[in-house]
Structure 1
Amino acid sequence: MREGGSSHVHGTFHFLLSILQRGRQKHRDVFRLILFSSSLLIRYSVIALQFTSTQSLSVVSLAMDNISEMESVIEESLLSKKSSNAKGGFRTLPFIIANEAFERLASLGLMPNMILYLTRQYGMQTAGATNFLLLWSAVSNLTPFIGAFLADSYVGRYSMIAFGSVASLLGMVLLWLTTLIPMSKPLCEGFLTDSCDNSPTTIQLLILHSSFALMSIGAGGIRSSSLAFGVDQLTKRDKDVGIQESYFSWYYAAVSVSSLIGLTVVVYIQDYMGWAVGFGIPVILMLIATVSFFLASRFYVMAEVKRNMLSGIAQVLVASYKNRFLQLSQETENGTYHQEKGSDILMPTENLRFLNKACIVRNPSQDLTPEGRARNPWNLCTVDQVEDLKALVKVVPIWSTGIIMGVNMSQGSFLVLEASSMNRHITPNFEIPAGSFVSFMIVSLVLWVIIYDRILVPLVSSIRGYPAKLGAKKKMGVGLFTSCLSIASLVIVESIRRNIAIEQGYSDQPEAVVNMSALWLLPRQILNGLAEGSNVIGQNEFFLTELPSSMASLASSLNGLGFSLASLVASFILSVVDRVSGGGGHESWVSSNINKGHYDSYYCLICALSFLNFIYFIYCSKSYGPCKNRRK
């Protein structure tokens, strides 16, 4: 047993070594890139260790010389520390940002080619593999919502990020091991083959599902708390001099850049160096993210756990139900309402009047303490609590319009299949990886934000003579309409691609490359970037404006919750289409053979739903009325 295990490990080692040797001979440029990146990461770690000391101002200046306009503010903030034992401050932010950035880089680097890994290495059908990835996306978007509740109510943000980092690392290691251990996935004709007809066993699926579950849990821990944990590190003085705004900018910039790198560099490595190396890179990145976060543990400010807003919402629902038989007569409405100390809201609004029963004081001596507090918050709530819930209920219809938008955006797996069957050569010697086509959407999004904020708004404002910006609801509407155009363009492109494949005799060869440039997919990606850049930013602006400041954390997570439900809806639609269109011996619209299926018809269905959703949004927008910032 011992000798057999030793020979197995020895054989695995030589197998990995042979892969690396072949990769080094064929792809010296990629190895140089890895060596260069490794040297940068080592330098980053050295600077990070020195950065934790408030006395190493020369190192700080060297590390931050690319943001020279902030040097004076940063240096003053660092010098103002009374001792090296002071906690928080700007020095902790690079560790928090790096943790989130590396996690995004690693996880997004796995997503684009995962459809190919599941179908070719695990023998999954295209529809089943796509449903699996949609479920993973749904859970990964839902866990941050749960993580935010747990962090605010029970464990704290630091513990949540630490737990999430370790969980993500373990999940990626487990997924990486499936590429190293032959017994962890179905036995194919050859270990390096790109196709597999055998089905995975229960144990093999358990290992695969466990890796994705750990990564989803880890994403929930990190993404739910990183941004807020960074704000916890800043003092009031830091916020007054503008460091908080700079932190937000660098946070989102780092996440966007890391996402782009994950969708390009990591995907390139997977395509040209194999799954073992391609999945090993995210493991290394996540390890660096975890170590980076723990390096500064003794310098973090650990904010006290506060009561979550969700408990207040539950109290309003329970109290209004308990008082459901209370008649809201004119005399009752003019009676006493339980007001929060220091609040400007004296009476509840007229909409959703049944909730007003939760804040009516019937007997002050029985309902209130001598200090004016409710004796039982589950029987009597404040007017502010009631109005907070009303505000949340009021935005739900507009929030729901983002679900179909998310369904449209979740078709990325099919995009990879289409791109892989088209000519992706830019030059005779350079070919764009199929999984990297998703990156064009990110580039389009970033460019749209820059053009809108730095060119269009100043130009229109100068012409009109006053500040001119699109309102939050108009941004959402523009995004929804643009998403309709994006999926419509995909209907046309896929219809042409399929006809060309049939004409060239590739009906039974789904992996054949048709004589059609994959650049025809770019209009869809460009429009998708415009759509997401308008709708998602508009959603966040709308929720944060319309919901009270006490619900800011809940408001910031609504968009992610919508995309989580969108993944589930997309999975449901896909399953129904596969079952209905594939009945009676017919080829399914979403067949594993992309040339025999009718993906153009499937996209046409999504396009129709998108246009209906746009009409639904117009109705909801008019019913909602003007936003708060436009009521004055």
Structure 2
Amino acid sequence: MAKELATENLKFDEEKAKMSPNKKGGWITFPFIAGSILGVGLASGGATSNLLVYLVQKYNVRSIDAAQIVNIISGTMSLAPVIGAIVADAFFGCYSVLVFCSAIQLLSLVIFTLTAVIQSLRPTPCAVPGTDTCQTASKGQLTMLYGGVALLCIATAGTRFNQATMGASQFDRVEDQAIFFNWFFIFMYTAAIASSTAIVYIQDSVSWVTGFALGMGASAVSLVFLLLGSKYYHKPAPQGSPFTGLARVVVATLRKLKVQMEPQTTASYFHGNDDMASSIPGPSFSIFNRAALIAEGDTSPDGSIVKPWKLCSVREVEDFKAIIRLLPLWSSSIFVSISIGCQLNLSVLQALTMDRSIGPHFSIPAGSMIVPSFVSFVVFLTLLDRVLFPIWHWLTHHTPSPLQRIGIGQFINAISMMSSALVERRRAAVINRHEAEVHPGWIVPLSAVWLMLPLALAGGAEALHFPGQVGLYYQEFPKALKNTSTGMVAVIIALGFYLSTAFLGVIRDVTTWLPDDLNRSRLEKVYWVIAILSTINFGYYLVCAKFYKYQNTNNSTEKVSVGEMPAI
């Protein structure tokens, strides 16, 4: 249905373009933006999906160290798009940032390819990865590799969110924007699955040079597609970032901490031109009411603001308070991301020690073990949207609220961590039966397919709690701040990856559970700790959800569409 409507709209836009040559935007831009999305996704995934294995096998990095490094990189790539969106909104506009960062991505893939082509850019290969005899990479070699990683992070900052914003800005109708968002996430996940399977397989089974070169080619194609559509795009000018308004409330409050807050009237506060012109700030979080209090010299004779970083409107103050009310719920999702970050990278390390063969001629690349999570996310989300939520509505006469979706997702996530612990117990039992054969690099005679069930459960959990969070933030955020809702989830994901690195570091410092040789580890205990903490975190979430009151009650059971999904 979406495809048919897109085709009809494309024909309609082409006819309009013929009648009105100066008309910009519309479905005529869709093929160019779609090519850019697919190319960027393939290039980014081709460089990062198998990066953990690349560090272990080609740079002789110890396995747990490599997992922590990849977590830091993943966290940075999740947080960077928030900064990129702010820069685009406030200064340069989406199109300029997209072109610049697409070119940066191409340069980063050139560097990755060079590290695979030129032997001197890597340490001497190690016969048995993870042993003390392995040569470590030099500072120059690591600088080259991490330089490519840094450029890739900059590229991701300017492309991931801005592609969605750029595409949506081509349409005036909300229906067209919703269809575009659906296709945006379809293309994004398609690229992620393709890069985590086909490109990773080529890197493992053909050569790293070919794998990185394919990513480089995809990046070049992405840039070409983006530039070819330039004359058709509607390119909105930068409007300023809504985050600036939030920062102004904090700064204005700090600058007026010594102001006496005696009983005030409506005239004591600055309102501007909004629908709160006859009200005063609410009593909750009253310390921030100072930001809207008019002091001498704050306004000009015509009523406009003279010092914007010392005075905010009542609306801006109340918008800031709405964000504060959501912070406890937001914080309850951070450990979910920590558990996901640990599970994904540890599963790749487990796969490196297990039998990954399927039949006599094919072996699953270890970097592809994350694919079940992606596939489960897409399948489960489709089932929710088309089957499970309609059944729920038929039985209860309402759609699950965002808080209910998040809660169910967190519960399933805890179950996923428990199942990872059980799979590791089975792997450890096989190792114990072959104790005499165990040595560094020994492959456990147990199929890595066992790892797919916990990852599939994790993907299903993500399909509930991440879109549920976006739905909650979109519903509850003030009107002027709706576009920041996805950014809130991106920050959670970034913090999760960063803190998962710290979490594994603490485990290594206070226990002996994570030696570099995973076959001598006590990984089962690590997973049980994560499962227990996930369960405790779920209890914390239930408390936060119980005391939270919807501000926009008319929309509390509104159905969330695929277009409201975050970018993970």
**TM-score, normalised via structure 1 length:** 0.83
Report the CA distance shift for 1:258/1:462 in structure 2 as closer, same or farther (over 3 A).
same
Corresponding residue number in structure 1 for 2:439: 509
CA 156–393 in structure 1, closer or farther in 2 if over 3 Å, else same: same
Indicate whether 1:151 and 2:88 are aligned: yes
Q: What is the CA distance between 1:69 and its match in structure 2? A: 3.9
Moved more, 216-225 or 106-115: 106-115
Q: Does 1:580 align with 2:493?
A: no
C-alpha distance in structure 2 between counterparts of 1:167 and 1:591, whole Å: 37
Residues 310-329 of structure 1 correspond to what in structure 2 (within 5 A)? 310-329=243-262
> Which of 270, 275, 281 is equivalent to 1:348?
281
**Do residues 386 (structure 1) and 317 (structure 2) align?**
yes
Match of 1:525 among 442, 455, 459: 455
- Quick check: 1:482 aligned with 2:433? no
Alignment of 1:113-132 (within 5 A): 113-132=50-69
Q: Work out whether residues 60 and 129 of structure 2, in 8 Å CA contact, stay in contact via their aligned partners in 1.
A: no
SS at match of 1:515: strand
Larger CA deviation: 551-560 vs 212-221: 551-560
Is it true that 1:443 corresponds to 2:443 in the alignment?
Answer: no
Which residue type is aligned with residue 210 of structure 1? G
1:184-199 → structure 2 map (5 Å cutoff): 184-188=121-125, 197-199=134-136
> Structure 1 residue 108: deviation in Å?
1.9
1:74 aligned residue: 10
1:200-599 counterparts in 2 under 5 A?
200-234=137-171, 236=172, 239=173, 242-329=175-262, 331-333=263-265, 335-344=267-276, 346-361=279-294, 366-411=297-342, 412-464=344-396, 466=397, 468-505=398-435, 508-581=438-511, 588-599=512-523
1:302 Cα offset (Å): 2.1
Corresponding residue SS for 1:368 = coil
Q: 1:619 to 1:432 in 2, by over 3 A?
A: same
CA distance in 2 between counterparts of 1:112 and 1:455 reads: 31
RCO (CA 8 Å, sep 6+): is it higher in 1 or 2?
A: 2
> Is 1:316–1:385's contact at 8 Å kept on the other side of the alignment?
yes
Q: Secondary structure at the match of 2:332?
A: helix
Cα distance per residue 1:273-324 (max 9 Å; x no partner): 0211122211111111111111122222221111222222222222222322
CA contact (8 A) 1:77 1:89 kept: yes
Deviation of 1:344 (Å): 4.1
Change (3 A) 1:279 1:502: farther
Q: Which residue of 2 aligns with 1:609?
A: 533
Contact residue 98 and residue 159 of structure 2 kept, 8 A: yes
Q: Deviations over 1:254-282 (max 9, x none)?
A: 11111111111111111210211122211
State the 1:149 CA deviation.
1.2
**CA separation in 2, counterparts of 1:613 and 1:189?**
42
Runs of 5+ in structure 2 lacking a partner?
Answer: 557-568
Aligned equivalent of 2:98, options 149, 161, 183: 161
Which aligned segments of 4 or more residues in structure 1 are displaced greater than 6 angstroms?
A: 192-196
Deviation string, structure 1 residues 117-156 (Cα, Å, up to 9, x no partner)? 1112111111221121111111111211111111111122
State the shift of 1:334 in Å.
5.7
Identity of aligned residues (%): 27
Instruction: State the TM-score, normalizing by the size of structure 2.
Output: 0.92
CA offsets per residue over residues 217-260 of structure 1, 9 Å max, x none?
A: 101110131111112222x3xx16x3222111111111111111
Asked if 1 retains the 8 angstrom alpha-carbon contact of 2:63 and 2:130, the reply is no
1:127 and 1:578 in contact (8 A); partners too: no
1:178 aligns with 2:115: yes
Structure 1 residue 526: Cα displacement: 1.6
Structure 1 residues without counterparts, runs of 5 or longer: 1-64, 582-587
User: How many residues matched?
Assistant: 552
Tell me the residue number matched to 1:140: 77
Amino acid in the other structure paired with 2:542: I
Partner Cα separation in structure 1 for residue 358 and residue 123 of structure 2: 35
Q: Could you tell me how far apart the structure 1 residues matched to 2:437 and 2:92 are?
A: 56
Q: State the AA in 1 paired with 2:274.
A: G
Higher Cα Rg, which structure: 1
Contact map agreement 1:135 1:571 (CA 8 A) in 2: yes
1:108 correspondence with 2:45: yes
- Report the CA distance between 1:437 and its aligned residue: 2.1
> What does the per-residue CA deviation read over 1:182-232, in whole Å, with 9 as the maximum and x for residues that have no partner?
100112368x99998101111001001101001111011101311111122
Contact 1:138 1:565 in 2 (8 A): yes
Contact map agreement 1:472 1:538 (CA 8 A) in 2: yes
Displacement of 1:340: 2.7
Q: CA deviation at 1:455?
A: 1.0
SS of equivalent residue, structure 1 residue 410: helix
- The answer to whether the 8 A contact 1:421-1:514 is kept is yes
